[in-house]
Chains A and B, each alone.
Chain A
């Protein structure tokens, strides 16, 4: 078995890894299903025996939907808690599949066209796990501090200027402040992925991953933010489009299948865009890498 070697820059493209995108989509679809299950079980227990089945929960007026929410008052907190636990678990353990995916995108194995051995990927993911976790925690803290600060400053501004400018204008000004801090948080969010790319590509330690990522951001005058933002925008538009379109679909099996297709296309697109963005970050890291860096399978 040969050693993995860095992929050529031209190969670090999401479109060169369609199967990886499919696997990523499958991962989120599975997790989504798990998260939805407790809520679905509550609804099924209450309304599963209704002759109009679940269409009664979507009927105009929402009489039964509200009733379901009211009558499952006791069960809903359990479902919410289960979903939150899953989210925390995915946020922590999710670094393993993320690192595996990034490794797969950035490296290839001589003689093998597509996939690095699962063992190699897993070993690499475990190797970088703590660093990934550290990057995530630090970024989460920094983003949280920035957003909290933005909201605090924005509301202070709104409150203090309300008398002079009127509430609407004062609050709009406050929102501008929040938006500025949100842009800052976005920059951190982008840098976070750049740091991950440094860890994967150059095996950078925690601190140097951040310094290198920040260097990329400054050297490229924030261009990565734009590269991230247009993808986020396209993904967001896709979500809005399906949210608007799907309610127009007919009721019944055909409508549900159509909705499934539309929704999963939107999810798949977001996964592909995420892969595409990670490739952007990985190419940046690769282009700046001082020398060929190899990973050694454990």
Chain B
């Protein structure tokens, strides 16, 4: 299987002249020339490169300073001449309390620890290498161009524009000081995680403007594709994990120097620690390196299992993972905030070294971060502007994957209790009226709203579409979106277009409402009643004669009645209504869910005793499940009473004298 995959890949590489595979076998120079291409079937395996970084980084583990130098090859693929560049200096978010990251009073979500060791990045040199001579741009860097006090979004005015279609080489040197791990990046003791560690060009939009932004507490990232060739220099006792395959490793005195390179990616992260333990596994032709603290063998085994499931599952759902390698980093307890994050071909997980085996939190974070290889990595939407396109779609994919793997107990399977990840994601409903799901990360007022809406609500809306319009249609839509938009930085419109085409325009319109206009729905049973049937009584004019029909006795064994089902809110879905008779039988009636209410008539040989709307929980987006049913009598819930009593007895037996 693995050998077959490699042979197929080698053929593919040979077949496309001038195309460098993004695999480790290709030389970095080849890689740098890689262009977008497709094997005809399935998604392309390589992106059209815009920015290529060749960097060298030396880590001082005592001061936590990275001294870097290198070049950026940047191609102006836009139709406009560029008078300026925009550089993201993310580490300056930790420089002082006037940064956007630290001054915004937004609590919750992640990265809320106070900064005790400031982090920053100083660009020491920036030179435009031109055939007619070097141009020093160091003085042209305006770190306050986007904000008077923030220094994460720097404008570099060019002395002469970079004309459309031209490319430029920038030579730079910088010094990055890692803070203690506050959000994702930093150090904890000798553990170092270098994310957002180098001056990075903002993404050049097709329109010719840069998608630049100040680094916000809730926002993630956005960049152009290209190749990264990075040489990392650390003390020789340190173990390094990094984006892309390792091309070389050598010892130079007391130092260890490793070189990693990867094309068709839009970021590069690395970690170094003198305590890492390493384990390798190959799944589906992908070499996976698991780096973990000592004593976490059981946790790593769970990650291995999760990856063995995830790689083939995601290939079937969203196309092949096109890289040769994946590194899974389990940060130490003291650097938990570095965990649960994605970078190209490198993800971080984390958690405790022990845990009840029925609680799949580690599996969840592993599958979730791997899923980002698609939505963040290969599709590469603007995470700051449209975070739901990454975190939201990825959260749905995570729950879908976990359910495919572990069934209904996809998050917890413990002592008969099976909790689904999809069910937990519905908590996002609580924030439906607070903010729009599809808004930029910086627009959210609270971390809880960001988490609940971007992650949970998006996932719940998508799962509702799957349950209502069918798994084949939903899977086809997601596969089409993930393969067509690979390496293309899709926008919400691209996604909605695919939903309209693969599912239906109605589904896309519903999703648009849900994502951008607080769309909500609450199905409820408002009335239920039944009575014995009897012939109609009263005064009737029949055949020109008036006759009075007296109240007749009930028809034996015949009952009539109705239920009133209402739909509140702005979203509509077709829905099932289940009517239960006193004799224990039930019937299902379909309602298109379009109006505000429907009265469903009932006739049967027994009284109507209860009714449930949406009995299979297809409409997960429903605001309230507890009004989805009504009945003429209240059950005693003996099973629940028995369980609760037993639990209370055991507690009392343990605690009472």
Question: A203 near B: Cβ within 8 Å?
Answer: no
From 214 to 246 in chain A, residues with beta carbon under 8 angstroms from any chain B beta carbon are 239, 243-244, 246
How many chain B residues sit at the interface, stated as a range, is 35 or more
| Stretch of B177-185, B199-207, B623-631 contacting A (4+ beta carbons < 8 Å) | B623-631
From 587 to 626 in chain B, residues with beta carbon under 8 angstroms from any chain A beta carbon are 609-612, 617, 620, 624-626
Partner of B634, one of A44, A66, A248, A259: A44
Q: Give Cα A67–Cα B629 distance, bound, in whole angstroms.
A: 13
From 300 to 340 in chain B, residues with beta carbon under 8 angstroms from any chain A beta carbon are 332-334
Contact flag A47-B637 (CB < 8 Å), given A31-B649, A167-B353 = yes
Query: Least Cβ distance of B468 to chain A in Å?
Result: 15
Partner of A36, one of B417, B430, B626, B644: B644
Question: B648 near A: Cβ within 8 Å?
Answer: yes
Question: B256 near A: Cβ within 8 Å?
Answer: no
Shortest Cβ distance from A132 into B: residue: B657
Contact flag A256-B642 (CB < 8 Å), given A66-B424, A68-B626 = yes
| Stretch of B242-250, B288-296, B449-457 contacting A (4+ beta carbons < 8 Å) | B288-296
Question: B11 near A: Cβ within 8 Å?
Answer: no
Q: Give Cα A60–Cα B419 distance, bound, in whole angstroms.
A: 7
Query: Least Cβ distance of A165 to chain B in Å?
Result: 8
Q: Give Cα A34–Cα B353 distance, bound, in whole angstroms.
A: 39
- Note all chain B residues with C-beta closer than 8 A to A115: none
- Note all chain A residues with C-beta closer than 8 A to B332: 162, 166-167
Contact flag A36-B275 (CB < 8 Å), given A167-B295, A167-B333, A267-B650 = no
Shortest Cβ distance from A263 into B: residue: B646
- Flag if B652 contacts A35 (CB, 8 Å): yes
Partner of B294, one of A83, A168, A264: A168
- Flag if B610 contacts A62 (CB, 8 Å): no
Shortest Cβ distance from A245 into B: residue: B416
Interface string of B392-431 (1 = CB under 8 A from A): 0000000000000001110010011111101110110010
- Flag if A62 contacts B626 (CB, 8 Å): no
Q: Give Cα A53–Cα B639 distance, bound, in whole angstroms.
A: 9
- Note all chain A residues with C-beta closer than 8 A to B98: none
Query: Least Cβ distance of A32 to chain B in Å?
Result: 3
Question: B41 near A: Cβ within 8 Å?
Answer: no
| Stretch of A91-99, A118-126, A284-292 contacting B (4+ beta carbons < 8 Å) | A91-99
Q: Give Cα A216–Cα B422 distance, bound, in whole angstroms.
A: 57
Contact flag A35-B638 (CB < 8 Å), given A51-B586, A66-B424 = no
Question: B542 near A: Cβ within 8 Å?
Answer: no
Query: Least Cβ distance of B469 to chain A in Å?
Result: 19
Number of interface residues of A (CB under 8 A): 71
Query: Least Cβ distance of A279 to chain B in Å?
Result: 16
Question: B641 near A: Cβ within 8 Å?
Answer: yes
Q: Give Cα A91–Cα B275 distance, bound, in whole angstroms.
A: 49
Partner of B657, one of A136, A260, A266: A136
Contact flag A90-B652 (CB < 8 Å), given A243-B415, A263-B642 = yes
- Flag if B636 contacts A29 (CB, 8 Å): no
Question: A16 near B: Cβ within 8 Å?
Answer: no
Contact flag A259-B643 (CB < 8 Å), given A35-B652, A168-B295, A267-B650 = yes
Partner of B656, one of A60, A94, A267: A94
- Note all chain B residues with C-beta closer than 8 A to A7: none
Q: Give Cα A28–Cα B586 distance, bound, in whole angstroms.
A: 41
Q: Is the interface of A mostly helix, strand, loop or mixed?
A: helix
- Note all chain A residues with C-beta closer than 8 A to B620: 63
Contact flag A49-B646 (CB < 8 Å), given A31-B652, A54-B635, A61-B419 = no
- Flag if B652 contacts A67 (CB, 8 Å): no
Question: A70 near B: Cβ within 8 Å?
Answer: yes
- Note all chain B residues with C-beta closer than 8 A to A259: 639, 642-643, 646
- Note all chain A residues with C-beta closer than 8 A to B643: 259
Question: A198 near B: Cβ within 8 Å?
Answer: no
- Flag if B646 contacts A40 (CB, 8 Å): no
Shortest Cβ distance from B617 into A: residue: A63
Partner of B334, one of A35, A51, A162, A246: A162
Candidate in B333, B424, B609, B624 with the most chain A CB atoms within 10 angstroms? B333
From 135 to 151 in chain B, residues with beta carbon under 8 angstroms from any chain A beta carbon are none
- Note all chain A residues with C-beta closer than 8 A to B612: 50-52
Query: Least Cβ distance of B238 to chain A in Å?
Result: 15
Q: Give Cα A269–Cα B221 distance, bound, in whole angstroms.
A: 60
Partner of A169, one of B294, B610, B631: B294
Shortest Cβ distance from B417 into A: residue: A62
Partner of A162, one of B333, B609, B610, B656: B333
Q: Give Cα A270–Cα B654 distance, bound, in whole angstroms.
A: 10
Query: Least Cβ distance of A169 to chain B in Å?
Result: 5
Query: Least Cβ distance of B612 to chain A in Å?
Result: 6
- Flag if B423 contacts A247 (CB, 8 Å): no
- Note all chain A residues with C-beta closer than 8 A to B648: 31-36, 83
Shortest Cβ distance from A158 into B: residue: B333
Query: Least Cβ distance of B401 to chain A in Å?
Result: 16
- Flag if B656 contacts A90 (CB, 8 Å): yes
Q: Give Cα A64–Cα B426 distance, bound, in whole angstroms.
A: 11
Question: A179 near B: Cβ within 8 Å?
Answer: no
- Flag if B275 contacts A166 (CB, 8 Å): yes
From 258 to 274 in chain A, residues with beta carbon under 8 angstroms from any chain B beta carbon are 259-260, 263-264, 266-267, 270-271, 274
Q: Give Cα A98–Cα B430 distance, bound, in whole angstroms.
A: 48
- Note all chain B residues with C-beta closer than 8 A to A49: 610, 629-635
Q: Give Cα A239–Cα B647 distance, bound, in whole angstroms.
A: 10
Q: Give Cα A61–Cα B645 distance, bound, in whole angstroms.
A: 23
Contact flag A36-B639 (CB < 8 Å), given A50-B629, A61-B408, A163-B189 = no
- Note all chain A residues with C-beta closer than 8 A to B655: 87, 91
Query: Least Cβ distance of A148 to chain B in Å?
Result: 17
Shortest Cβ distance from A28 into B: residue: B649
Partner of B639, one of A51, A58, A63, A243: A58
From 114 to 140 in chain A, residues with beta carbon under 8 angstroms from any chain B beta carbon are 132, 136
Query: Least Cβ distance of B624 to chain A in Å?
Result: 7
- Flag if A91 contacts B656 (CB, 8 Å): yes
- Note all chain A residues with C-beta closer than 8 A to B418: 60-62
Contact flag A40-B637 (CB < 8 Å), given A28-B649, A162-B333, A267-B650 = yes
- Flag if A87 contacts B634 (CB, 8 Å): no
- Flag if A71 contacts B626 (CB, 8 Å): yes
Shortest Cβ distance from A253 into B: residue: B638
- Flag if B645 contacts A33 (CB, 8 Å): yes
Question: B653 near A: Cβ within 8 Å?
Answer: yes
Question: B640 near A: Cβ within 8 Å?
Answer: yes
Question: A160 near B: Cβ within 8 Å?
Answer: no
Contact flag A61-B416 (CB < 8 Å), given A39-B644, A50-B635, A67-B625 = no
Contact flag A29-B645 (CB < 8 Å), given A47-B637, A90-B652 = yes
Question: A176 near B: Cβ within 8 Å?
Answer: no
- Flag if A94 contacts B657 (CB, 8 Å): yes
- Flag if B657 contacts A44 (CB, 8 Å): no
Contact flag A46-B650 (CB < 8 Å), given A36-B644, A54-B639 = no
- Note all chain B residues with C-beta closer than 8 A to A255: 639
Question: A76 near B: Cβ within 8 Å?
Answer: no
Question: B536 near A: Cβ within 8 Å?
Answer: no
Question: A153 near B: Cβ within 8 Å?
Answer: no
From 112 to 159 in chain B, residues with beta carbon under 8 angstroms from any chain A beta carbon are none
Question: A18 near B: Cβ within 8 Å?
Answer: no
- Note all chain A residues with C-beta closer than 8 A to B430: 70
- Note all chain B residues with C-beta closer than 8 A to A298: none
Query: Least Cβ distance of A119 to chain B in Å?
Result: 23
Question: B580 near A: Cβ within 8 Å?
Answer: yes
CB<8 Å pairs between A and B, sample of 7: A31-B656, A33-B645, A58-B639, A63-B426, A67-B426, A98-B657, A244-B415
Other CB < 8 Å A-B pairs besides A35-B652, A63-B625, 7 of them? A36-B645, A40-B640, A64-B625, A71-B624, A167-B333, A172-B295, A267-B650
Q: Interface on B for A, CB 8 Å cutoff? A: 189-190, 275, 293-296, 332-334, 353, 407-409, 412, 415-420, 422-424, 426-427, 430, 578, 580, 586, 609-612, 617, 620, 624-626, 629-653, 655-657
Nearest 3 pairs of A and B residues by beta carbon: A247-B416, A168-B295, A32-B649
